[in-house]
Chains A and B, each alone.
Chain A
């Protein structure tokens, strides 16, 4: 039984990687741009089918397809910001308009992709099998190792970028208080573009991992988005890495739920989480001890002052 639990833990963890990447892409836009970016599904579709065309129609190597896919996705993100969101902001449009705009963008892209690539599920590479080794009784595939390490590296790079790079720090400043940041000479517009670019990179990386393991349809990205939304809500809006952790927890809960309920109810588990989070934790789930520490910190600062 222990082996079964360990196997589910490992494969659930590996399977969570693309969800983590989608969640980060969604959460960073919400944090910086303060937008529920449902256009991300369209960006994910563009990412996958660009790579698919490179690999399957032009016979280009996977790494080059990934680079060009990222370029296309980042480009799409920048266009969304420049020619969609910015004019809406200029017109002081309501948040409903932003919501509708992002949603329609994704729907439009999925129909265009359907027109171009059809409705048959396709994978990025002809084969979805990767070599497997048994480590401590657990089946570990090369895909698992690639996915886990690529996601870990991406998260580390993002953390370093936000902490040490000027643009990363500006992102955090704009996310904290955009108007104040502008007073200090930080361009919020530039921060929005950088956030879109980061979202594009993460969305594309996620689709690369997903597309090497499972069949993709033009509408697949819309389904995958649900996970990102719940992860972001559960992690707490504006808390990027907590959202990523929430995505891992969700994936594991889904995987383990099969042991107690039929696997056909896995989506119910997700929706139950969504419902509970919205009702009970609208600002995200926070561990009590962390909350306490946060409360204490300002008091100490005040005392010093």
Chain B
């Protein structure tokens, strides 16, 4: 933890940003030969800090673990963190700071709006920006220097729609989606994939993010008699929609994406959650033996589970991706520039990562990952299937 706190947060809060900039600017120059810098621009303050700080912690643990194991040919990894507040404007400043002052060749970042905002800066400074958690499909079209390590929204919903049609043999579906970017994108993907396979979408309804009464919308869906209802909502509204569905006697199959993978939902809905199918983009304990030790570490150090566990798994794996690229650069005797980092990321293509398994980078700036389908059985999420 020490490294990122001293560089990214404590110094900024205690000494002020001007002094921090001066120090941060001088450090990499001093350490360039001995350490391998990697940047991370995440929300450390603001409304998303709860998730951001846990994700940074996971990345820092990974960097520490790599260093404990000898680093990259004896050179230690140096994680440098800047705060984005999950705000595009602050994100640009953070990215600029890391790219121009800290001179890091690779920067991990997240939150769709931030990733979209920093893309021109990544292109201008020729710094590899790795999106680790932004799921918007727009991430794939943000220029030459923006890549993702996280599967975009269409991956899990496509896999789910395929499973519902091919394995569950459902032919008539309905889609309910929240009226925001992730809802719109996911809703369209489910509708299009399901329809293309031969299924029929009989109701396609959006709801407002502030809505609390879904009766009218649900009665319209009930009248259309779908066999399956896919909800592309958020953690807050999915349980409400499902509760009101069940209370209106709508007992058909319900599916959702990773936002529905929330143990609290099972508590809130009790028996009404039975059979609910969701997706997860990171393997669980049964799929990955390393995860048990990782969760134990959280329990031991923090006394709790991490906020947004799957995202922290991706953040933990980020330094391992960078480690592989540094090793590749040394092997090919290339300097650690953003251009070479980009080249290395695309050419290595396949990464075997400790917490999220195999990652395959596609030339179209997306990645292929297995999708883990989970189902609620006897009051808990259990694995249903893994769709490669």
Contacts and interface: CB of A to CB of B under 8 A. Distances in A.
Name the residue among A121, A223, A265 with the largest chain B CB count within 10 angstroms: A121
A123 B47 contact: no
A136 B246 CA distance: 18
B208 interface: yes
Nearest to B247: A132
A11 B213 contact: yes
B268 A118 contact: no
A127 B242 CA distance: 12
Nearest to A15: B213
Interface in A1-35: 4, 7-8, 11-12, 15
Given A262-B205, A263-B206, A263-B208, A128 B239 contact: yes
Contacts of A266: 207-208, 210-211
A265 B208 contact: yes
Contacts of A8: 215-216, 219
A215 B240 contact: yes
A119 interface: yes
Given A8-B219, A254-B213, A267-B208, A118 B307 contact: yes
Contacts of B51: 119
Contacts of B211: 263, 266
A265 B267 CA distance: 31
A11 to B, nearest CB: 4
B246 A129 contact: yes
Contacts of A213: 212, 240, 243
A263 to B, nearest CB: 4
Interface string B184-223: 0000000000000000000001111011111111011001
B179 A264 contact: yes
Nearest to A256: B216
B19 interface: no
Contacts, number: 104
A264 B215 contact: no
Contacts of B212: 15, 210, 213-214
B235 A120 contact: yes
Interface in A128-159: 128-130, 132, 139, 141
B247 A263 contact: no
A97 interface: no
A263 B210 CA distance: 11
A8 B220 CA distance: 11
Contact of B210 (A12, A215, A223): A223
Name the residue among A11, A122, A130, A254 with the largest chain B CB count within 10 angstroms: A11
A267 B206 CA distance: 12
B31 interface: no
A276 interface: no
Contacts of A4: 219, 223
Interface residues of B, number: 38
Contact of A255 (B213, B243, B247, B248): B213
B213 A264 contact: no
B208 A129 contact: no
A266 to B, nearest CB: 5
A164 to B, nearest CB: 35
Contacts of A15: 212-213, 215
Interface in A42-60: none
A12 B243 contact: no
Given A4-B219, A129-B270, A263 B235 contact: no
A264 B207 CA distance: 4
A132 B249 CA distance: 9
Interface string B228-251: 000000011101100110111100
B48 interface: yes
Given A4-B219, A118-B50, A213-B240, A251 B213 contact: yes
A114 interface: yes
Interface of B: 47-48, 50-51, 179, 205-208, 210-217, 219-220, 223, 235-237, 239-240, 243-244, 246-249, 264, 267-270, 272, 307
26 contacts: A4-B219, A4-B223, A7-B219, A8-B216, A12-B213, A120-B307, A127-B268, A127-B269, A127-B270, A129-B269, A129-B272, A130-B247, A139-B249, A210-B212, A214-B212, A215-B237, A215-B239, A256-B216, A262-B205, A263-B205, A263-B207, A263-B208, A264-B206, A265-B208, A266-B210, A267-B208
What 6 A-B pairs have minimum CB-CB distances, sorted nearest first?
Answer: A258-B216, A121-B236, A264-B179, A264-B206, A215-B236, A15-B213
Given A215-B236, A264-B206, A267-B210, 11 more contacts: A7-B219, A15-B213, A119-B47, A119-B51, A127-B270, A129-B247, A213-B240, A255-B215, A262-B205, A263-B205, A264-B207
